[in-house]
Amino acid sequence: MKTKYYDFQEIIDEVQLDEIIKAYKDGEVIAFPTETVYGLGANIYNDQAIKKIYRAKNRPADNPLIAHIGNMEQLYKLVEEIPEKAQILIDTFWPGPLTIIFKKNKEISEVATAGLETLGVRMPDHLVIETILVKGDLILVAPSANISGSPSPTTMKHVADDLDGLVYGIIDGGNCDEGIESTIVDMTGDNPVILRPGTITREDLEEEIGKVEIDESLLGASTKIARAPGMKYKHYAPNAKVHILKNRGDLDLILKKIKSLDVDLNKCALINFDENIEHYRKLEIPNKIILGSIVDLRVGIRNLFRILRDCDILGIEHIFIEDYKEEGLGFSYMNRLKKAANHNYLKES
């Protein structure tokens, strides 16, 4: 398959826009930009199109997708009810990087929900996809636009690297502002529960609706059912082995580990925060990469997936990367990092 490319970085071409809308309605899958990461979309009412997403990504069939809407009228078509607290979150955070889990309308097929009776919905804050959804009166289900398990794509090039030749089209809308996937909060039970952390934090949610719980899977418990993307399977991992450094890495321990691995220093990378440059200066790893500043973790989060992908391009085999306090945005950062590293912390062998 020859993938079509659409450049909407500066202007949205109306002719190409109409072509994209028609393609979605005809059952094609097209990657699109959002403020979080790039998504791979299909018409929610076309089961065959949705199956194309799973095939292109090599995605497990029980890993659910998220419905993307452009207005509230579309939400009413998808869900049985909107709980009061869910409406507060909608009023506060939509459009934006928040996915809310609702009880789905019976007309929505189980193919779209991976067999679940619930559906995650969000309203993205990006002009390109908003225009497509509203003008086309489309509701798209989408995961991230990458091969399952790899770091999520935050640029068009990342999508092309993974999916060129596997999907009908890719829309270039520039770099993603947030850099990680949306926060997912389940509003179908007695209490709101975060199933996946993002840049809208637990503290942000609690400021609006009171107590919000954290799903046990985010605290280390295993889960048999993926109630939302990112819960059950390996995610966000580069080709390299990732080692998490606690409280700034012990230099001798890092060198000892590299020696035990019998790996070329040129095939190692150190990813650290700007404030810790001096701490690592004596470490003779040529690939030292600045993640961002400790005082502005949003920058580090925005850079994380891009840097992991850059390490693959460089042929890096081992990545040593700093951790962060697991509170606020740090909880979201560490969620992605621990999954990318398969919870592998650097320690004495």
- Could you please report the per-residue DSSP string of 283-340? S--SEEEEEEBTTBHHHHHHHHHHHHHHHHHTT--EEEEE---SSTHHHHHHHHHHHH
Mean pLDDT for 204-232 is 81
pLDDT at 118: 97
Q: Is the pLDDT of residue 224 over 60?
A: no
Mean pLDDT for 205-233 is 80
Angle between helices 14-25 and 127-135 (to 10 degrees): 60
Tell me the average pLDDT of the chain: 95
- Residue 247 confidence class, pLDDT cut points 50, 70, 90: confident
pLDDT at 231: 61
- Residue 83 confidence class, pLDDT cut points 50, 70, 90: very high
**CA dihedral for 265, 271, 273, 274, sign (positive or negative):** positive
**Cα diameter, the chain:** 62
CATH code that applies to domain 4-219: 3.90.870.10
Mean pLDDT for 186-214 is 98
Token pair for residue 58?
Answer: 């090599």
Q: Is the pLDDT of residue 230 over 70?
A: no
Give the closest residue to 277 by CA, choosing from 296, 291, 297: 291
Mean pLDDT for 135-144 is 98
Q: pLDDT digits over 283-292, tens only?
A: 989 999 999 9
CA atoms within 13 A on the CB side of 40: 32
- Residue 62 confidence class, pLDDT cut points 50, 70, 90: confident
Q: Is the pLDDT of residue 157 over 90?
A: yes
Residue 122 CB partners (closer than 8 Å, separation 6+): 66, 67, 68, 69, 94, 97, 98, 99, 100, 182
Q: Report pTM.
A: 0.95
Residue 248 to residue 19: CA distance in whole angstroms: 51
Residue 127 CB partners (closer than 8 Å, separation 6+): 12, 173
CA distances from 170 to 41, 190, 217, 285 (A): 10, 40, 33, 37
pLDDT at 233: 59
Residue 123 to residue 100: CA distance in whole angstroms: 10
pLDDT at 232: 56
Give the closest residue to 306 by CA, choosing from 331, 275, 340: 340
- Residue 174 confidence class, pLDDT cut points 50, 70, 90: very high
Indicate the Cα dihedral angle 228, 229, 231, 236, nearest 10°: -170
pLDDT cut 70: percent of the chain above it: 96
Question: What CATH architecture does domain 241-341 belong to?
Answer: 3-Layer(aba) Sandwich (3.40)
Beta strands across the sheet bearing 66-68: 4-7, 169-172, 30-32, 39-43, 140-142, 66-68, 118-122, 98-103, 183-186, 193-196, 213-214
Q: Is the pLDDT of residue 203 over 80?
A: yes
CB atoms within 10 A of CB 119: 26
Q: Is the pLDDT of residue 40 over 90?
A: yes
Comparing 186 with 219, the larger pLDDT belongs to 186
CB atoms within 10 A of CB 160: 18
CB atoms within 10 A of CB 1: 9
Q: Are 199 and 35 in contact, with CB atoms under 8 Å apart?
A: no
Q: Are 248 and 277 in contact, with CB atoms under 8 Å apart?
A: no
Token pair for residue 317?
Answer: 């085999």
Q: pLDDT digits over 100-113, tens only?
A: 999 999 999 999 99
pLDDT cut 90: percent of the chain above it: 89
pLDDT at 223: 62
Q: Is the pLDDT of residue 220 over 90?
A: no
- Residue 237 confidence class, pLDDT cut points 50, 70, 90: very high
pLDDT at 211: 98
Listed by start position, the domains of the chain span 4-219, 241-341
CA distances from 283 to 223, 253, 286 (A): 39, 11, 9
- Would you call 26 helix, strand, or coil by DSSP? coil
Spell out the alpha helix ranges (H) of the chain.
Answer: 14-25, 47-57, 72-78, 84-93, 110-113, 127-135, 156-163, 202-209, 251-261, 277-280, 297-313, 329-341
pLDDT at 349: 59
Mean pLDDT for 30-56 is 98
